[in-house]
Chain A
Amino acid sequence: DSGVTQTPKHLITATGQRVTLRCSPRSGDLSVYWYQQSLDQGLQFLIQYYNGEERAKGNILERFSAQQFPDLHSELNLSSLELGDSALYFCASSVGQEANYGYTFGSGTRLTVV
């Protein structure tokens, strides 16, 4: 157990729907990062939050949004889902704003859009 908790582990939904993925960072970590990994693709950085504030943004679609709550857990909202959104979504956490000592990844949420 890495200490980073992601729920749910698996999600199957239809095109056009909206889902919410949840992440609780490792105890003491203030930064949360979201990544998307499609089949045979690399990890694509979506967004980072640090202590409740958005800190960095990657290739995140406008249909996607995220937030980090006062208790530091984070949610990634995906709306108007398309087949191409099917992927593994990983959350990672680190102590500081810069991941200079590496991330700790959660076990991921596998999203299947049908």
Chain B
Amino acid sequence: GQNIDQPTEMTATEGAIVQINCTYQTSGFNGLFWYQQHAGEAPTFLSYNVLDGLEEKGRFSSFLSRSKGYSYLLLKELQMKDSASYLCAITYQKVTFGTGTKLQVIP
């Protein structure tokens, strides 16, 4: 099976940088997703990592270390609209989501 751990909540200041960590244990691994979910809305795709290393996409970057079972999502130049839950998910036969990290961006 799969087990995913993320911090429950984080708070960061507008304009700053925040790193959201995700650790996982899994019997198999195809890739790791990060999704953003605003309250009451559908998750939206942010990134997908298959190989070790950093993937950069605008203000968002995602890092993966398969040997350590570890990933992080880096959000730069935080904006108020970035207040949302960030879901880490691993894919192996099916996609398993973590419970998410609720990020609050404050002025």
Question: Which residues of A are interface residues toward B (Cβ below 8 A)?
Answer: 2, 33, 35, 41-43, 45, 48, 56, 58, 88, 90, 98-108, 110
Instruction: List 7 additional A-B contacts (Cβ < 8 Å) besides A33-B95, A56-B94, A98-B30.
Output: A33-B94, A42-B97, A90-B43, A103-B45, A105-B43, A106-B42, A108-B41
Q: How far is the CA of A105 from the CA of B42 in the complex (A)?
A: 6
Judge if B58 is at the interface, Cβ distance under 8 Å. Answer: no
State whether A103 touches B97 (Cβ < 8 A). Answer: no
Tell me the bound Cα distance from A47 to B99 in angstroms. Answer: 18
| Cα separation A85 to B89 with both chains bound (whole Å) | 23
Q: Are B87 and A102 in contact (CB under 8 A)?
A: no
Q: For B30, what are the chain A residues with a Cβ–Cβ distance below 8 Å? A: 98, 100
The 3 closest A-B pairs by CB, nearest first: A42-B99, A105-B42, A43-B97
Number of interface residues of B (CB under 8 A): 21
Q: Which of B79-97 contact A (CB under 8 A)?
A: 87, 89, 91, 93-97
Instruction: Say yes or no: A103-B41 contact (C-beta < 8 A), given A42-B87, A42-B100, A43-B87.
Output: no
A3 to B30, CA, bound (A): 25
Interface of B, helix, strand, loop or mixed by DSSP = strand
Q: Mark B30-51, 1 if CB is under 8 A from A, else 0.
A: 1101000000111111001000
Q: Closest CB-CB distance, A74 to chain B, in whole Å?
A: 16
CA distance A85 to B83 in the complex (A): 27
Q: Is the CB of B91 within 8 A of A100?
A: yes
List 6 A–B pairs whose Cβ atoms lie within 8 Å, in order of A's numbering: A45-B95, A58-B94, A88-B40, A90-B43, A100-B31, A102-B45
CA distance A105 to B44 in the complex (A): 7
A7 → chain B, closest Cβ, in Å?
A: 14
